[in-house]
Structure 1
Amino acid sequence: MIKLMRIDYRLIHGQVAMAWTSAIGANCLLVANDAVSKDSMRITTLKLARPAGCKLVIKSVEDSITALNSGVTDPYNLFIIVESVEDAYRLAKGYRNIRSINFGGAKPQKDCTRKLSVTTPVSERDMQLLKELVNEGIEIEIRQVPGDEKINVSKLL
């Protein structure tokens, strides 16, 4: 069961490893990103950042979609973490049971045309993808930590 899907370019860090994982009761982290799944240094770093007692799976976006659709992830309280709006979009399009996305942070971009919040700079392309997901009924909210008030992205687009 998917407990949360989060866009956060830092992937696993303090907020994710401590605050979010315990708040949502996750016992498995799925990092879905094409580049990370092929980068042994980043994989090693993420393994070190993994919270104790929590399984960590790192897959490409396409392999993540396949795993989710196959049902192999169903027994887990799953926390999916993606690096970008593009990754979130691809995952949500490929696995139709994603109904909400937490937008925690985006990498500063050269082509940033807007900041939805201090931590969420977006490009024109990101805006288009977010709008499409919102129009399909997917809730996208900005929150750094579980105790923060939700900011609904649909009101910011």
Structure 2
Amino acid sequence: MIKLIRVDHRLLHGQVAVSWYGYVGANCILIANDQVIKDPIRKASIKMAKPSGSKLVMQNIEHSIESLNSGITDKYNLMIIVESIHDALLLINGMNEKPKVLNIGGTKETDQTRILSPAVNTSITDEEDIKSLIDLNVEVEIQQVPTSPVKTIKVNDLKINRG
């Protein structure tokens, strides 16, 4: 059962490992990312952040979709972490059973982004992807840690709808 799908550009780190993992009652973490599986240094740092006693799986997006759709992950209380809003859209688009909620915890600031919330920076492409997620009936929420307030993103919040 999927307990949480989260966008966090840092993937697995203390905030996720300590706060979210226990809060959602997960026992397995799936890192769905095409780049991290090719990078031994990033893989090693993610493994170090893994909560004690948890199962950690790192797969590319395509293999993650196959695993989720096959039912092999059904035996776990699963927390899925992706690096970007686009990765979340790719993953969710490929899933047979769409989640009800996507949690956005943090995205990188660049010269192409604007601040949507203190830790979430979005480009026009990110906002188009968020609109696509909303169109799939996925509620897109911003929440850094479980104890912080939830901000549900509405289409009116997106710059792409302001012309």
Q: Which runs of 5+ in 1 are unaligned?
A: none
Instruction: Report the alpha carbon displacement of residue 115 of structure 1 after superposing the two structures with TM.
Output: 1.5
Q: Which amino acid aligns with 1:100?
A: V
- Alignment-mate amino acid for residue 118 of structure 1: P
- Report deviation, 1:156: 2.1
Q: Which residue of 2 aligns with 1:21?
A: 21
Letter in 2 for 1:30: L
Q: 1:36·1:42 contact (CA, 8 Å) conserved in 2?
A: yes
Matched, 1:52 2:86: no
CA distance in structure 2 between the partners assigned to 1:49 and 1:30 by the alignment: 13
Residue 111 of structure 1 corresponds to which residue in structure 2? 112
In structure 2, the partner of 1:82 is: 82
CA distance in 2, matches of 1:123, 1:58: 26
Offset, 1:15: 1.2
Q: Is the contact made by 2:4 and 2:103 (CA closer than 8 Å) also made in structure 1?
A: yes
Partner of 1:3: 3
Root mean square deviation, CA, Å? 1.0
Whole-Å separation in 1 of the counterparts to 2:149 and 2:117: 13
Partner of 1:153: 153
TM-aligned CA deviation for residue 149 of structure 1: 1.4
- Residue in 1 aligned with 2:92? 92
- TM-fit CA distance, 1:105: 0.1
Equivalent in the alignment of 1:144:
144
Q: CA deviation at 1:97?
A: 2.6
| CA distance in 1 between partners of 2:19 and 2:29 (Å) | 13
Q: Which residue of 2 aligns with 1:125?
A: 125
1: distance between equivalents of 2:33 and 2:99?
Answer: 17
Do the aligned residues in 2 keep the contact of 1:116 with 1:153 (CA within 8 Å)?
A: no
Task: Say which SS state the counterpart of residue 109 (structure 1) adopts.
Answer: coil
Output the CA distance in 1 between the equivalents of 2:40 and 2:99.
28
Residues 76-118 of structure 1: per-residue CA shift (max 9 Å, x gap): 0000000001100000100133221100000122311x21101
Letter of the aligned partner of 1:61 in structure 2? I
1:30–1:80 Cα contact (<8 Å) kept: yes
Gaps of 5+ in 2: 159-163
Task: Give per-residue Cα distances to partners, 1:44-95, cap 9 Å, x unaligned.
Answer: 1111110001100000011100000001100000000000011000001001
Q: Taking structure 1 as the reference length, what is the TM-score of the superposition?
A: 0.96
Rounded to whole Å, the distance in 1 between the matches of 2:12 and 2:136 is: 28
How many residue pairs align between the two structures? 156
Do the aligned partners of 1:31 and 1:58 also contact (CA within 8 Å) in 2?
A: yes
Contact 2:98–2:138 (8 Å) recurs in 1: no
